[in-house]
Structure 1
Amino acid sequence: MNVDNRTVSMTLPAEAEFIDVVRLTLYGICTKAGFTYEEIEDMKVAVAEACNNVVVHAYEPGSSGTMEVRFEMIEHGLRITVKDQGHSFNFPEKAMAAQSLHDKSLEEAQIGGLGIYLMQALMDEVEVNSEGGTEVVLTKRLSKSEEMV
């Protein structure tokens, strides 16, 4: 598949009701790319979690903000970026909290690390840049048997 200029971008209000728009767009793109139903469901959970973090944490209550979502077709997969211009957070600290969840029950999980843990469990790569807002980059690769020829 030729992946040059195969990017879909959207800017949405950072409000919960717009997360479904992101999920529907993800579904359409992933279906065309050849991901399995299970992989698409995993990605929908991870992307919804990243978007929900923007809605809940990025902006002051009562103030409006936006989230930018980009779906980039890469060789053998998809890279999804969710970016806001709101408050940043300490990713290494949250990643450590997420790491400590691996052997714990859901009841023992502390709020704050579960979203990162979910994203890391469901995606092949998770990167976070927290300069000037927060940017979460989620990457999922196609399995060899699923690559479109």
Structure 2
Amino acid sequence: MKAVHLQIPADADYIDLVRNCLLGVATKLGFSYEDIEDMKVAVSEACSNAVLHGVTGDTAGDGVIDVAFESDAEGLAIRVVNYGVPFAHSDARKSASGIQGNHPSELRVGGLGIYLMEALMDEVQMNSDEQRTEVRLMKYRG
């Protein structure tokens, strides 16, 4: 398995670097324009969540997000890791849904990012412990 690793500050201003790196890696691997655009949206959501929920101020490694792009014959796996408080991903997944409602006041807060990641990627896995949260996004070739 070939891998490209990137570490960015846990700051929204750096998410575009992750998207640009993804563009380069996925293009080199021969993914279609549509698949690359889907992956860019999904990785942006994962990184945005890492920025929002991954900084506590009292954890080693705090303030950074580690991203890995791992390719093999099956496809491309993208891992986004933050070092904040544990994330209750199973609870968030239960509330994840598409945009519903006829008026903005009817929209719920939260869950849309998980819904988007799951809609755009072939696999989404989330794991948390007291030290870190990892989101793994998988896009298969063809």
- Equivalences for 1:48-59 in 2 at 5 Å? 48-59=44-55
Normalising by structure 1, report the TM-score.
0.84
Q: Does 2:12 correspond to 1:12?
A: no
* 8 Å CA contact 2:10, 2:65 repeated in 1: yes
Paired residues, number: 136
Runs of at least 5 residues in structure 2 that lack an aligned partner in the other structure: none
**Alpha-carbon distance in structure 1 between the residues aligned to 2:43 and 2:63:** 18
RMSD in angstroms over aligned alpha carbons? 1.9
Any idea what the Cα deviations from partners look like across 1:66-100, whole Å, max 9, x if unmatched? 000000002221000000111121111111101xx
**Alpha-carbon distance in structure 1 between the residues aligned to 2:49 and 2:9:** 13
Identity %, equivalent residues: 46
- Equivalences for 1:1-149 in 2 at 5 Å? 4=1, 6-60=2-56, 65-98=63-96, 101-102=97-98, 104-105=100-101, 107=104, 108-131=106-129, 132-143=131-142
Deviation of 1:103 (Å): 7.8
Any idea what the Cα deviations from partners look like across 1:75-132, whole Å, max 9, x if unmatched? 221000000111121111111101xx25834844422211100000000000000112
Normalising by structure 2, report the TM-score.
0.88
**Alpha-carbon distance in structure 2 between the residues aligned to 1:21 and 1:102:** 27
Any idea what the Cα deviations from partners look like across 1:48-70, whole Å, max 9, x if unmatched? 11001111121148x96100000
Runs of at least 5 residues in structure 1 that lack an aligned partner in the other structure: 144-149
**Alpha-carbon distance in structure 2 between the residues aligned to 1:89 and 1:109:** 22
Deviation >4 Å, runs of 4+: 105-109
